[in-house]
Structure 1
Amino acid sequence: MRIFILLLVRYTCAFQAGALVEEEPKMPLFDKTTLNITAVAGETAILPCSVERKGDEHKIIWLNPRKTLISREDSRFIDDSRISVERPKVRDWNLMIREVRYNDSGEYMCQINTKPHVEIKRINLFVKVPPEILEYWTSTEIEVIEGTTVDLMCNATGVPIPVVTWYKQSNLLKGADQNDGGEESTLIGEVLILHNISRYCDGIYECNAENGVLPMATRKFEVTVLFPPEVDVPTKRIGQSIGKETILQCKVSASPQESIVWTKNGSALPQKYKYWTQLYDEGHHEKTLNLNIIDIDKDDFGYYTCEASNTLGRDSETMILYEYKIITQPRPRITTPPWRPSPRTSQDYDPNIITPHYYPGSRGQVGSVYYNYNSVAVSSWTNCDGVLIVTFVFVCFINQFSMG
């Protein structure tokens, strides 16, 4: 009997000890640290939630920022196929949001129903949105009359709020105001105002919206400034000879460029081979129209007018083409006075010196000298192109004697 009582007491103690163990089960290990998660719109956001020793009696639920039940365990309770509970590991109960949107931002809660109170892990989701420019505010092709005011609007959205910077044909626009450093400030803002716009202000304007989230948003505006024609004839008078050819030049600034013509004496030029024009594009708003006239005759001389017109007005300039006569003069006649050496007498004669002179009775014979009617005469010519030429002339004279 004593042995039976001892066994009964032993089993009773063991049963009570087991009962005590079952009454104190192990509690789940739940990370309750608050997290901040940042995601870009359109990408996938993962909100982590991890539990150790969860057990079957504890349940995991997810609540969205509006306190709506998203899921219980791994079952989804909302009609949004973008959202699901993913479990890459046994302890993980992560909430995955695909193609996340800005309105998905807010505080999410992962809860486990432990006793005596519910354990909560809070996760703040921040969704960044790339900049976007609203297209319906302003047209991208703008025509404006010179001297008026133009407003270019670049209304941009995004998270965080984007900064809008203005450029003109890839050059950063700067304003007249100056910052503390004394430099011109950059034109920043959603609206660009062009006061008293001139023809030199037209072109391509570009606004860039940036908020640190790629891609950057860009929009271009093509601004065309309209103004009436302005005609300039560089040369007001041109002279040319008959049978020659010439070119008359006319420069026109206008927007739009519609009509440029040459007229003569107020009438249209006849359609002849001798009149033909060439149009050159000299840059934005400027053109040159040349009138070529070949084989000029008397009918081609007169007043020529360059006329330009568009929807805003017209302008003209006139020039004159006149006959240029070439005056030919006879070639000048070059004369050299005759060389007349001083005569010498026979007493001055020196046989070692050749001195040409005229004989008083024979002045037509240049360079001859007669000495006492001898039969020899000497003639000398000096310095012909730097060469001294001496000629000896032998002359025989027959003295006529009267025969007695």
Structure 2
Amino acid sequence: MLKNLSVSGDYTFHLFRPSLPFRKLSHQTPAITAISPEQIRDIGSSVTLNCTIENASRYAVSWAKRHRDQPSDSVALTFRTQLTINDPRFEVNETMNGTTMIYSLTINKIEATDMGTYECQVIISFQQKNTSTVNLLVKHPPVISLSETTTSVNVAEGLPTQLSCAASGYPLPTISWTREYNAIMPHGGHSYRGKVLKLDKAHREDRGTYYCIADNGVGKPDKKMVSLEVEFPPRITAPRPKVAQAIDYDVELECKVEAYPAPAIVWYRNGATLTSNSHYRITNIATAFEITNSVVRVITIDKDSYGDYYCNATNKMGHDVARINLFESVLPILSPNASSK
């Protein structure tokens, strides 16, 4: 209560409320709201990958490329507007529109090695980041992988085997098989489509050169040669199982040996091995497709020269023998390989 007031007049009173404590506004967490869809490009062209980020102005942003073999690992390409790789084909740019940032990575003169997964990153803290990815697919011709493609196969006749072929490229190449000289394939026809050519039972007729062909419609197909060797025991044929010639003339006895591995060929007569000497001259000539022509030339025939001669061939798979009979003729048989003393 006021007492003894002696001052008169009009007074104005103001009521003041204490100020509220200042509250610091927190920054909103950044978020990637959009990223470019999957991109498909030709070698030598350009591409721009865009990443749209809200509230990113106070945070570090970057582009990285994931490792193909270890997707959890990546290689940094940019940090804000700086490149972290030494490659003039790459460009980085950021455009702000209010709180929205468009963070762009441009790749010029695209190469096949640029194909992969690119990651837009917003680094919030040491242990936290927001990410989004986009795939860049680069059209490039097929390349057959030497490490994943058969080069040669040896198999015993009658056993199963297979020829394998793998190739990279985009679009993914198709693999087909053909044989040298357009020969018939083991399963019939002149070609087979598939990465693996399986043979349930290898036959000697299957041996030879095969071609793996990879094609994806970009550039030229890639082609690699694959050799298939089938091991089999000797098979002997005698073109002339009976041969006539007159005394005092020479004559040639011949056998054809088909075998793989190459066989040891021996001629016999009366249980004895023949060797090249004054009476005999033996030659072995290897030709294509594992065929050997073996010839024994009987020099200056006499009465004791007539009879049976045996051509014997042996390899690790087995052996075979053929008999050739030499008999006397009244008149000499003249041929380019026959002569008189």
Q: Pick the TM interval, shorter chain.
A: 0.5 to 0.7
Structure 1 equivalent of residue 158 of structure 2: 147
Distance 1:205 1:258, change over 3 A: same
Pick aligned residue for 2:291 from 286, 292, 303: 286
Distance 1:140 1:289, change over 3 A: same
Residue pair 1:245, 1:294 contacting (<8 A) in 2 also: yes
Structure 1 equivalent of residue 196 of structure 2: 191
Q: Distance in 2 between matches of 1:171 and 1:239?
A: 41
Q: Distance in 2 between matches of 1:294 and 1:69?
A: 84
In terms of Rg, which structure is larger?
A: 1
SS in 1 for 2:168: strand
Q: How does 1:291-302 map to 2 (within 5 A)?
A: 291-302=296-307
Structure 2 equivalent of residue 329 of structure 1: none
Residue pair 1:174, 1:187 contacting (<8 A) in 2 also: yes
Structure 2 equivalent of residue 255 of structure 1: 260
RMSD over aligned Cα, in angstroms? 4.2
Gaps of 5+ in 2: 1-33, 51-60, 67-75, 94-103, 122-132, 332-341
The reply on whether 1:70 has 2:78 as its aligned counterpart is yes
Distance 1:314 1:153, change over 3 A: same
Distance 1:249 1:240, change over 3 A: same
Distance 1:161 1:143, change over 3 A: same
Deviation (angstroms), 1:251: 1.8
Q: How does 1:302-313 map to 2 (within 5 A)?
A: 302-313=307-318
Q: Distance in 2 between matches of 1:47 and 1:129?
A: 19
The reply on whether 1:202 has 2:204 as its aligned counterpart is no
The reply on whether 1:85 has 2:91 as its aligned counterpart is yes
Q: Distance in 2 between matches of 1:280 and 1:69?
A: 65
How many residues of Structure 1 are paired with residues of Structure 2 in the alignment? 261
Q: Distance in 2 between matches of 1:157 and 1:280?
A: 44
Deviation (angstroms), 1:302: 2.8
- Indicate the structure with greater helix content: 1
Structure 2 equivalent of residue 218 of structure 1: 223
Pick aligned residue for 2:113 from 101, 104, 109: 101
Deviation (angstroms), 1:220: 2.0
TM-score, normalisation: structure 1 = 0.53
Distance 1:281 1:65, change over 3 A: closer
SS in 2 for 1:197: coil
Structure 1 equivalent of residue 48 of structure 2: 47
Q: Distance in 1 between matches of 2:262 and 2:151?
A: 22
Residue pair 1:166, 1:173 contacting (<8 A) in 2 also: no
Structure 2 equivalent of residue 38 of structure 1: 40
Structure 2 equivalent of residue 337 of structure 1: none
Residue pair 2:171, 2:216 contacting (<8 A) in 1 also: yes
Gaps of 5+ in 1: 1-31, 50-60, 88-92, 110-121, 178-183, 327-404
SS in 2 for 1:200: helix
The reply on whether 1:269 has 2:274 as its aligned counterpart is yes
Residue pair 2:38, 2:136 contacting (<8 A) in 1 also: yes
Pick aligned residue for 1:135 from 146, 163, 175: 146
Deviation (angstroms), 1:229: 0.9
The reply on whether 1:238 has 2:239 as its aligned counterpart is no
Deviation (angstroms), 1:300: 1.8
Distance 1:169 1:210, change over 3 A: same
- Indicate the structure with greater strand content: 2
TM-score, normalisation: structure 2 = 0.61
* CA shift digits 1:5-27 (9 cap, x unpaired): xxxxxxxxxxxxxxxxxxxxxxx
Q: How does 1:150-189 map to 2 (within 5 A)?
A: 150-169=161-180, 171=182, 187-189=192-194
Residue pair 2:238, 2:254 contacting (<8 A) in 1 also: yes
SS in 2 for 1:166: strand
* CA shift digits 1:3-52 (9 cap, x unpaired): xxxxxxxxxxxxxxxxxxxxxxxxxxxxx9x78753356x5634299xxx
Deviation (angstroms), 1:213: 3.2
Q: Distance in 1 between matches of 2:248 and 2:219?
A: 71
